[in-house]
Amino acid sequence: MSEARDTERIPSGGLLDPRPEPDPEPERAPDRDQDSERGTTTESTPPAAPPTSPLVTSRGTTSISSGVVEKVSKRAAAEVEGVSGVTSSGIRGLLDLVRPPSPAEDGVDAKADVGKETAAIDLSVRIRYPRPAARVAEEVRRHVMRRVQEMTGLVVTEVNVEIPEFALDRDVPRVRVR
């Protein structure tokens, strides 16, 4: 008959260890300030962390829908020089057949994935020929990030820009090569 001692424990290796179990860390009482004149004690708690975003405050949260971010993104992309418009697809594309988008947004499509404090945006943008696509796409990216942040308070983590086609200016006469 063997009795287990309080000081024995079996470590992960399986051998007996004669050292006693360490005492769990005692719970700390909150810091107390004592007012010596009145003989009273007050508990002080650490200050709350400041809000990380204008959308999440100590008084509540503000939620921005993906539709709002998409609308701001489309308009911001259309403000960039060299963008002919933003294309529409899906249900919005069908709605555009019945109710055309504003001229500024025509040819720009936006899809946004919105979290509590961040947004990721996918844009499809037509660029005027012969503008340099990479340069215009980078300007669209910067401008959309800046505009969405200032309009909604969301931090934009990424803006993916697709260029499905170049748009030809209708006012410029075509030169025929013979």
CATH architecture of the region 63-167: 2-Layer Sandwich (3.30)
Write down the pTM of the prediction: 0.59
- pLDDT tens per residue across span 66-81: 999 999 999 999 999 9
CA 85/CA 3 separation, integer angstroms: 83
* Ranges of each domain in the chain: 63-167
- pLDDT tens per residue across span 128-174: 999 999 999 999 999 999 999 999 999 999 999 999 999 987 644 55
Average pLDDT for the chain: 75
Question: What does the block give as tokens for 64?
Answer: 């921005």
Calculate helix-pair angle for 133-152, 66-78, nearest 10 degrees: 130
CA 159/CA 40 separation, integer angstroms: 58
Per-residue DSSP letters for 30-92?
PPEEEETTTTEEEE--PPPPPPSBTTEETTEE----HHHHHHHHHHHHHTSTTEEEE---HHH
